[in-house]
Amino acid sequence: MELQELLIAALGTVVTLLPRPDYVGEIEETGETLEENARLKAATITQATGLAAIADDTGLEVHALGGAPGVYSARYAGEDASYADNVAKLLAELAGHEDRSASFKTVCVISFPDGSELVGEGAVDGLIGTEAKGMAGFGYDPVFLPLSDGARTYAELSAAEKHALSHRGLAVRNVAALLRAKLDGEN
22: CB partners within 8 A, 6+ apart? none
CB under 8 Å to 6, separation ≥6 — which residues? 163, 168, 169, 172, 173, 176
Q: Which of 22, 56, 57, 85 is catalytic?
A: 57
Q: How far apart are CA 137 and CA 118, in angstroms?
A: 26
Length of the chain: 187
Could you confirm whether 56 is annotated as catalytic? no
- The SS3 assignment for 143 reads coil
The residues annotated with a catalytic role in the active site are: 57
